[in-house]
A and B are shown apart, each in its own frame.
Chain A
Amino acid sequence: MYFITFILKNLTRRPVRTALTIIGLTVALGSTIALLGISDSVSHAVKTSFERRGIDIIVTAAGKTDQLTSDFSETLVEEASKIPGVQDAEAAIVELIELTRDSGSSVPVLIQGWPAKSFGYEDLTLLSGRRLSAGDHGKAMLGTTLAENLNKKVGDTIVIQGERLEVVGIYKSFVVFENGSATLLLDDVQRMTGRVGRVTGFTIRVAKSSPDSIAEVEEVCKKIDALRDPKDPSVGLNAQTTRTYIDTVAHLKMVRGMAWMVSMIALMIGVFSMLNTMVMSVFERTQEIGILRAVGWSRGRIVSMILGEAVFLGLAAAALGTVGAIAVTYLLTLSPKVNGFIEGGVAPVVIAQGVGLTVLIALVGSAYPAFRAAKLLPTEAIRHD
């Protein structure tokens, strides 16, 4: 008999309790992996949207941490494009706007306002119709997820802010949230949102001597930071490298923070579930532990036995929780309410974090009963009934 066999027999002798403990831990871990996975998925989507387009710098208004709350004059984009080293500077408006369904209900939809010459169109794979071009006012392109959710096709109309727009193209993007968004010409979105002549941000491609040249990118950032709107010198710009932007953007930080907060609550429940199980398990086996001590088992081996049981429970929960989390995130991608903001699947690093946390909480939850059992005097333990 291997030591591991002994541990497994201890777990299988009380199958209901073992199963319930695994289920409790699975729910805690599954929630954690799913939440962290969703958070990671959103971050990954935003990062991909910039990196795959070769964007080096994201510019927002100074003091604003993301494009949804940023606002400044379009003229600053023209000024930025004149800075040496700037290859392309492209203005945009990104906004969450109420879209009216055919049923009359409203849903918030991410709207992107891009100039007709934007390089962003190059990365959209047209599934039907055509891309926007200069003069396409009152027209929109829909991401494939949004088109499916609204049941719209080329030639149909959608209603945004009470304005009817004709769908001219359906596209698929490598950026998951773009598939759930609508893309309009920049000046249409400026007009509809009351921001004529203004943008929420712009992106820059830097002409670099090598792809990894950070210094050149940071040099351009400094020059952009120094730009001022002549009509309102109090408005400054905040130019950040793509990586810095992802790390600091408020909405993503909030998503990550919420995910961790809820995960911690779930994990604490897991710790107490584990603690309860192992305390009961040790209490019921007090006499057996006394026998093991009597026949010469050291305190360390008793602790190893109980922690070993906890690790097995943790690993079983980790396996089930991972499968559950992947299933939940996949099902979420099918939900119209999620509207294509996340992609299915969970990154391996998130799974590794979840599994590590589960084993950790299993060990934390079983540490007290393990050491308590090891401290028992053999005679006291054997007398226990």
Chain B
Amino acid sequence: MTEPWVDTLLYADGLHKLYPDGHVQALNGVTFGVHAGEYVAITGPSGCGKSTLLNVIGALDRCDQGMVYFQSVPLSTYRDLARFRSLQIGFVFQSFYLLPTLTSQENVQVPMFGRGLDVRARRRKADELLEQVGMTKRARHLPVQLSVGERQRVAVARALANDPPLLLADEPTGNLDTGNAAQILDLLTTLQRDRGMTLVVVTHSPEVAARANRIISMRDGKVIESSDSAAMPANR
């Protein structure tokens, strides 16, 4: 019998995690797989464990029980999770988390340190990514000089810095107005389609979820439903 994580890009197998207070089960046996090129939305009410799940599958946090497989390899066998995150995963956060003293171009270069690229290559790559997200003219601006929508564009460019196969986004439109949210959503779906990336988005937004190939619904730390979205065909 073939193991369920074979042929998946990412597979969460029976993840359990208690909140640090020791009483609330953030993840309670979460199991699901994501195939390469998919756009998966994880939805559910606040406190249902969506963000915790994203952190665990992104190797930002540990689970108490269960296993995460990336390209069929358990994350627990990776000796250097920082390097794994650097090369395999791009993160987009609700609050952007740009470094305030760095320009847009410099923020995009941050994940490239330690990859053996010289300074020219880093700059060139950052400029290319900023062009892709439509931020070329704002490359020399500090985050404080950008609108919230522009900040999220820079954050998306930063997430793509090392060309990761998987992009994890935690409420990427949560801090944006309707217009900016639509633009960021367009950007993410375009990048996912054009680059063939896998996109996993945690969201409350029906608009964001509606664009996904698949919607995973969570409640009380469990997956209660995993259904294909009618909006887009799965890109498997």
User: Given the complex, which residues of A lie within 8 Å of B97, measured CB to CB?
Assistant: 287, 291, 294, 382
User: Given the complex, which residues of A lie within 8 Å of B99, measured CB to CB?
Assistant: 288, 291
| Residue of A287, A292, A378 with most partner-chain B CB within 10 A | A378
What's the minimum C-beta distance from A22 to chain B, rounded to whole angstroms? Answer: 19
- Flag whether B124 is at the interface (Cβ < 8 A): no
Q: Flag A1-12 by CB within 8 Å of B: 1 or 0 each.
A: 111011001101
- Flag whether A296 is at the interface (Cβ < 8 A): yes
User: Given the complex, which residues of A lie within 8 Å of B110, measured CB to CB?
Assistant: 6, 292, 295, 297
The answer on a CB contact under 8 Å between B86 and A295 is yes
User: Given the complex, which residues of A lie within 8 Å of B102, measured CB to CB?
Assistant: 1, 6, 9
Closest to B109 in A: A1
Closest to B164 in A: A296
User: Given the complex, which residues of A lie within 8 Å of B55, measured CB to CB?
Assistant: 379
Within 8 A of A (CB), among B83-139: 83, 85-87, 91, 93, 97, 99-102, 105-106, 109-111, 113-114, 119, 122-123
Q: Flag A87-111 by CB within 8 Å of B: 1 or 0 each.
A: 0000000000000000000000000
User: Given the complex, which residues of B lie within 8 Å of A377, measured CB to CB?
Assistant: 60-62
Q: Flag B68-87 by CB within 8 Å of A: 1 or 0 each.
A: 00000000000010110111
| Residue of B82, B101, B162 with most partner-chain A CB within 10 A | B82
A383→B55 CA distance, assembly (Å): 12
> How many B residues face the partner with a CB closer than 8 A?
32
The answer on a CB contact under 8 Å between A298 and B158 is no
User: Given the complex, which residues of A lie within 8 Å of B111, measured CB to CB?
Assistant: 295-297
B60's partner among A10, A294, A297 (CB-CB below 8 A) is: A294
User: Given the complex, which residues of A lie within 8 Å of B85, measured CB to CB?
Assistant: 294-296
The answer on a CB contact under 8 Å between B82 and A13 is no
A297's partner among B82, B91, B105 (CB-CB below 8 A) is: B82
Closest to B91 in A: A294
What's the minimum C-beta distance from A285 to chain B, rounded to whole angstroms? Answer: 9
The answer on a CB contact under 8 Å between A379 and B60 is yes
The answer on a CB contact under 8 Å between B82 and A293 is yes
The answer on a CB contact under 8 Å between B113 and A9 is no
User: Given the complex, which residues of A lie within 8 Å of B114, measured CB to CB?
Assistant: 296-298, 301
What's the minimum C-beta distance from A106 to chain B, rounded to whole angstroms? Answer: 62
A288→B85 CA distance, assembly (Å): 16
User: Given the complex, which residues of B lie within 8 Å of A12, measured CB to CB?
Assistant: 101
User: Given the complex, which residues of A lie within 8 Å of B82, measured CB to CB?
Assistant: 293, 296-299
What's the minimum C-beta distance from B90 to chain A, rounded to whole angstroms? Answer: 8
Within 8 A of B (CB), among A276-309: 287-288, 291-299, 301
A296's partner among B61, B86, B109 (CB-CB below 8 A) is: B86
Known A1-B102, A379-B61: A298·B119 in contact at CB below 8 Å: no
Within 8 A of A (CB), among B123-177: 123, 158-159, 161-162
A10→B62 CA distance, assembly (Å): 30
The answer on a CB contact under 8 Å between B119 and A2 is yes
A291→B162 CA distance, assembly (Å): 15
What's the minimum C-beta distance from A330 to chain B, rounded to whole angstroms? Answer: 40
The answer on a CB contact under 8 Å between A296 and B162 is yes
User: Given the complex, which residues of B lie within 8 Å of A296, measured CB to CB?
Assistant: 82-83, 85-87, 111, 114, 162
Within 8 A of B (CB), among A353-385: 377-379, 382
The answer on a CB contact under 8 Å between B83 and A298 is yes
A332→B91 CA distance, assembly (Å): 61
Report, nearest first, the 3 A-B pairs whose CB atoms are least far apart. Answer: A296-B86, A295-B111, A379-B61
Q: Which residues of A contact B (CB under 8 A)?
A: 1-3, 5-6, 9-10, 12-13, 287-288, 291-299, 301, 377-379, 382
Q: Which residues of B contact A (CB under 8 A)?
A: 55, 58, 60-62, 80, 82-83, 85-87, 91, 93, 97, 99-102, 105-106, 109-111, 113-114, 119, 122-123, 158-159, 161-162
